[in-house]
Amino acid sequence: MRVVIQRVSSASVTIEGKVSAEITNGFLILLGIEAADSAEDIDWLTGKISKMRVFADSEGLMNKSLTDIKGSALVVSQFTLHANTKKGNRPSFIRAARPEQAEPMYQTFLQQLGERIGSPCQSGEFGADMQVSLVNDGPVTIIIDSKNRE
């Protein structure tokens, strides 16, 4: 499982010209699920995200987590995070999980992260053509891969 996390002051998802989800002060999370992912990847990643200390404390230092600030999360499924660009100019997405595997894992991720942060996650629509807007606060952008736990 691979995520791109952006600390945002606002973010939204628009589908067919209509805003379907939006947040203020929190994380926009782009989530890529690969065929080799399991419930253990979800558990590890949601734990990591919910405790990640990248929000400012009273002294302006990154010492607070999403849970500490009672922030929001907007999660957007993005299979292209598993693009392989080794050969040629057209990316291969062979490592990305098929929709029948990825969608239930996406829903589990949303539920588990919501439980960990104490509020339901906002989300895009799985498989939809979405326009994602955000104001990256900082900017702070972090990439995490559950298969490469650095």
Among 6, 79, 112, 122, the active-site one is 79
> Is 79 one of the annotated active-site residues of the chain?
yes
* Size (the chain), residues: 150
Cis peptide before 120 (omega within 30 of 0): no
CA distances (Å), 143 to each of 28, 49, 84, 118, 132, in order?
12, 11, 16, 23, 18
> Is 78 one of the annotated active-site residues of the chain?
yes
Q: How far apart are CA 1 and CA 18, in angstroms?
A: 29
Among 6, 46, 78, 122, the active-site one is 78
Among 24, 80, 107, 141, the active-site one is 80
> Is 80 one of the annotated active-site residues of the chain?
yes
Which residues are catalytic, by number? 78-80
